[in-house]
Amino acid sequence: MIDVHSHIIFGVDDGPSIVDESLRMIEKAIKAGIKVVIATPHFQKDLFETERIIENYHKLYYRIANFDLTLLLGYEVFMNPIIPDLLAGSTDLTMNGSRYILIELPFDVMPAYTYETVFKLQLSNMVPIIAHPERIRYFVKNFYAFLNLVERGCLIQIDAASVIGVYGRQVKEFAKRLIKMNMVHFVASDAHYAEDYEKWYSNAYLKISQWKSEEYADELFSKNAKVMLNDLKGKVFEFT
């Protein structure tokens, strides 16, 4: 399995505070069957220090040299109209230097500049991935707004904890609806603690296998992520 959204780097955001906690998360990820983790610390301009993120990423990377897991770097980038400018000619904020960028939206409202920002990213040959839309209350109330993002070419990542019901029945039902409609491309841990891998990740795989199929679960937990990381000829995933 490939986990495309994890706050596994210590001392940089609301994830683990010390390296030992990061190592415990990695141990639990391996136990859950994960071979690759893309670390995606929060990025919001002038709020989070990218220098510290890179420094602590490398510290953790070398500490797990003998672990059976590959650690890559990406970011969870908070929606901002200046993102296309920050990315101009650069892949510093993308998923492992690919064309794919993980975008976080506010939970209560969709900013007025969202569609324009998505369009500008696509003009630069970037592919936006929307992080955990099932947890965004605005989308739960306004499904048309969510569909608009999908129709504009955004890919969708939902959280394993949402599938299990950690965030409540409404979030779980929205996640289930998206899965039933083949509108999800990735399921990720969004892990902040070791328990997120231990309690939710594998159970979410089993739940999606029941809701849909084991083949579809494999796409969401592994196959689509491989396509993204390989960036095969710029191919964008299509609905099945």
pLDDT tens per residue across all 240 residues of the chain: 999 999 999 999 889 999 999 999 999 999 999 999 999 999 987 655 688 999 999 999 999 999 999 999 999 999 999 999 888 877 889 999 999 999 999 999 899 999 999 999 999 999 999 999 999 999 988 999 999 999 999 999 999 999 999 999 999 999 999 999 999 999 999 999 999 999 999 999 999 999 999 999 999 999 999 999 987 544 444 433
pLDDT of residue 47: 55
pLDDT of residue 60: 97
Q: What is the fold of 2-234? A: TIM Barrel (3.20.20)
In 3D space, the residue among 97, 93, 224 whose CA is nearest the CA of residue 158 turns out to be 224
pLDDT of residue 235: 47
pLDDT of residue 45: 72
pLDDT of residue 232: 52
Residue 38 — φ and ψ, nearest 5°? -95, 110
- In the sheet that holds 36-39, the strands lie side by side as 2-6, 36-39, 70-73
What is the residue extent of each domain of the chain? 2-234
Q: Which two tokens stand for residue 19?
A: 């390296």
pLDDT of residue 91: 80
Put residue 112 in one of left, alpha, beta given phi > 0 → left and psi -120 to 50 → alpha.
Answer: alpha
Cβ atoms of 202 and 164 closer than 8 Å: no
Cβ atoms of 221 and 2 closer than 8 Å: yes
SS (H, E, C) the chain: CEEEEECCCCCCCCCCCCHHHHHHHHHHHHHCCCCEEEECCEECCCCCCHHHHHHHHHHHHHHCCCCCCEEEECCEEECCCCHHHHCCCCCCCCHHHCCEEEEECCCCCCCCCHHHHHHHHHHCCCEEEEECHHHCHHHHHCHHHHHHHHHCCCEEEEEHHHHHCCCCHHHHHHHHHHHHCCCCCEEECCECCHHHHHHHHHHHHHHHHHHCCHHHHHHHHHHHHHHHHHCHHHCCCCCC
In this structure, how many other beta carbons lie within 10 angstroms of the beta carbon of residue 102? 24
Q: Which two tokens stand for residue 236?
A: 């964008």
Q: Which two tokens stand for residue 93?
A: 């904020």
